[in-house]
Structure 1
Amino acid sequence: MTIDQHASLSPRRKAHFSYLPSASPLSSHRPRWALALGAVLIAGALAACSKPADEQRGPPKTEPKVGVVTLQPQSQQLDASLPGRTKAFMTAEVRPQVSGIIQKRLFTEGAVVKQGQPLYQIDPASLKATEASAIAAVAKAEASQRTLAATARRNAELVKIDAISKQAFDESQAAAAQSASDVAVAKANLDTARINLKYSRIEAPIGGRITLSAVTPGALVTANQATALTTIVQLDPMYVDFTQSSNDLMQLKRDLESGRYQKVDGDKIPVRIQFDDGSDYAQQGKLAFAGVIVNDTTGTLTLRAEVPNPDGLLMPGMYVKALLPTALAPDALLLPQQSVTRDLAGKPNVMVLAEGDVVEKREVQLDRAVGAYWLVKSGLKAGERVMVDGFQRTKAGDKVKPEEVDMKANAERKSLRGEPPVQGAADAPAAKAQAK
């Protein structure tokens, strides 16, 4: 409707049309709710722009907490873990010293026997006959000796008055001397017969545990045969023979000469034994022998320890590990193994807290494993803080909030719970190399 048309209307009609909205282009194409929504969005944007800058950035970032240990020098005994095998203190192979038929076996296989205890009985009949013959030979020789000795005495008186010739006298004296020798020979034969008769009862040459019997009653045995009837081993104490690399020994000598380590008293070196499953043997031994010749095939030296074995737990031929102190590090720095990681080249690294509690990645050199720790060779010094926990939350260059960790207390708690000690998985190859 145009303005002219509106003017020509009656007042009543004008009032009716005054309630209609104006026909503008905006109102004809956009609904009212769209206008309201736009107003709300504009108001929200203006309100956001009016907030402080701190509220727009959100809450401030907190520094992550990490566990650290502070390295302190300490006196540490250095042990060498060397592979070895047990060996009987004494071994005796029992063989017959006379020939004959075995009548009885006088021991229980596998039992403990004492020195001098009878083991076998050989049929003594022929040996008793030999002994009787030797006794008779002695009696005959002694009777002949008495006769010839009396003749020699008479001839000694007769030659003084020239009743017999000088030749007869000399022959009687020689016969008397020969008869004395015959008596001595007869007595020696009697001793031999008695010894052989005694050997018909085979006795234990040493005390110890006896093995299986190679013969049964009724078997024929010969003197000094190659096959042993049985074997006796003395198990208390026991020997443990182990080997040490000549290269490790030379390096130890260089460290001792340089003053890095202190020498351990060689006359009183204790030796601890570990079984193949890693458990410790209760008794402590001592070093009895150290080799002086290097094996030209393996490049190792042989050492021997003497270990008490009152319960017979150790048996000959067992594989064990010998732990013996080699030196004393007076100012050792021990680094928890869980703090060490390795890069792609296998080099060990640790996270150190520098000034301002900023994390710094540092390469270190490690000497050997000491329990759940590494002995530091270089790269760290006393008083520095090393991260042992919180690696997932930080990286080099971050500022952190350090908390001191008591490694001994943690180890005790894990031990009470039956958990194994924590060791870095990346260090497993190095730990195996140290054990070798």
Structure 2
Amino acid sequence: MKKSRYVLPLVLTLAIAGCSEQSNSQGGGTAAGEQAGAQQRPPAKVSVITMKQAEQPVTRVLPGRAVAYQKAEIRPRVNGLIEQITFKEGSEVKVGDLLYKIGDDTYNAALAEAKAALAKAEASVPSAQANFDRYQRLVNSGATQIEYENARVTLLQAQADVAQAKAALQSAEINLGYTEIRAPFDGITSISNVSIGNIVTANQTTALTTLRKIDPIYVDLTDSSANLLELRSAIAAGRLKGNPTQADIRLTLEDGMKYNKTGKLDMAEMAVSETTGTYQIRAVFDNPENIILPGTYLRATVTVGYENGFLIPQRAATRNANGTLTAKFVGAENKVQSRTFEHTQLSGNSWLVTENIKDGDKLIVDGFQWIADGAPVAPVDATLDENGFVVETPAAAPQETPAAKP
């Protein structure tokens, strides 16, 4: 009876072991089948473009802000009461157009008073002149030298009074003219800060309105001093062709649209900011439709020169942990290989490279994210748009349908 207690567990253990061996045998067969199926899968199709060396533009993308071509804060130059506001706020005005009219009653009275003072001063000159002429004739025949000198001083004083009165008259005329505030140049007005009936004072702190000329318009760009040094080194080495001072500049608006006018470099600041390590570049653009407004944030693409090399679309490349540009190519036996590029230049929506690449190389531009190095692929020639997207891939030949087995 004691032996029977150990027989049943022994039988169960042997049975479980047999089932486990059978299961492992079946699992191994399944894995082997999957491996065989994987080996029979066709290579993945990838879109490729053929590399060709050519002279390509070297560009910089810089942030910037639009600035009015001309700007003036309009202030009064005399005291008085605003009687007229002759412009529509936010409208275009021409040089010399009347903007504000200040009450001129007191200035007309001052002008009349200045005219009267001039007339009085001029009336005293003839008698003083005649008296001087008489004493000049008599100075050696009865008239004393003192009388002659007094006559001469009286004449000079009368002439000085006339000059003073003329200056006062001119000042009165100028002040009267200042009661009409006119546009100093063609531009667009802002909101008026005063209304009819307000009292204004000469050269007050608050501007009456602001006038801006925005056609053409300036765009102030910011670039790093490191880029400036790199650009100068490339020019000195002869790698970069063209004159950066005559560079074409194109704008991208805040909504991502391309501005249809090309700008030119106007000036570059000959100093680097001590806090940011950047320097300022000013470009000028035609703005006939007033699309660009002062203060607008913009991105500018500046063509600084041309260099021979190969273009790798930005969407077909990545950066490794060290920040080095990497891209995948179709190598020997149609297997994937990665390449790195230490020195790169920006060229529009692509990277311009000059090393570790040659004519005829096949760059993978689509599907490279999921393919490891050494994997076999089936390259298919593709066409890219200006943004680096695949827009056309020739259709692959249709596969033949296997004949049905009898």
The normalised TM-score by structure 1 is 0.74
Is the partner of 1:202 in helix, strand or coil? Answer: strand
Q: Which residue of 2 aligns with 1:289?
A: 267
Instruction: Give the distance between the partners of 1:291 and 1:209, measured in 2 at CA.
Output: 28
Deviation at 1:147, TM superposition (A): 1.2
Q: Which residue of 1 aligns with 2:226?
A: 247
1:227–1:358 distance in 2 versus 1, CA, 3 Å? closer
Instruction: Give the distance between the partners of 1:385 and 1:255, measured in 2 at CA.
Output: 28
RMSD: 2.9
Q: Which has the larger radius of gyration?
A: 1
Instruction: Give the distance between the partners of 1:98 and 1:410, measured in 2 at CA.
Output: 59
Kept in 2: contact 1:358–1:399 (CA 8 A): yes
Question: Which runs of structure 2 are paired with 1:228-267 in the superposition (5 Å)?
Answer: 228-259=207-238, 261-267=239-245
Q: Which residue of 1 aligns with 2:363?
A: 386
Q: Which residue of 1 aligns with 2:59?
A: 79
Q: Which residue of 1 aligns with 2:125?
A: 145
Is the partner of 2:76 in helix, strand or coil? Answer: coil
1:191–1:360 distance in 2 versus 1, CA, 3 Å? closer
Question: Is 1:218 aligned to 2:218, yes or no?
Answer: no
Question: Which runs of structure 2 are paired with 1:3-402 in the superposition (5 Å)?
Answer: 62-162=42-142, 164-259=143-238, 261-330=239-308, 332-340=309-317, 348-365=325-342, 367-376=344-353, 378-389=355-366, 391=368, 395-402=372-379
Deviation at 1:343, TM superposition (A): 6.0
Kept in 2: contact 1:244–1:302 (CA 8 A): yes
Amino acid at match of 2:94: K
Deviation at 1:351, TM superposition (A): 3.4
Instruction: Give the distance between the partners of 2:166 and 2:296, measured in 1 at CA.
Output: 51
Deviation at 1:253, TM superposition (A): 2.1
Deviation at 1:85, TM superposition (A): 0.5
Deviation at 1:413, TM superposition (A): 8.0
1:300–1:60 distance in 2 versus 1, CA, 3 Å? closer
Amino acid at match of 1:234: K
1:346–1:225 distance in 2 versus 1, CA, 3 Å? closer
Kept in 1: contact 2:366–2:390 (CA 8 A): no
Kept in 2: contact 1:336–1:374 (CA 8 A): yes
Aligned residue pair count = 357
Deviation at 1:395, TM superposition (A): 4.4
Structure 1 residues not aligned, in runs of 5+: 1-55, 416-436
User: Residues 50-104 of structure 1: CA distance to partner in whole angstroms, max 9, x if unpaired?
Assistant: xxxxxx99x9765554433221111110111111111111111111111111111
Structure 2 residues not aligned, in runs of 5+: 1-35, 393-406
Instruction: Give the distance between the partners of 2:336 and 2:149, measured in 1 at CA.
Output: 115
Is the partner of 1:356 in helix, strand or coil? Answer: helix
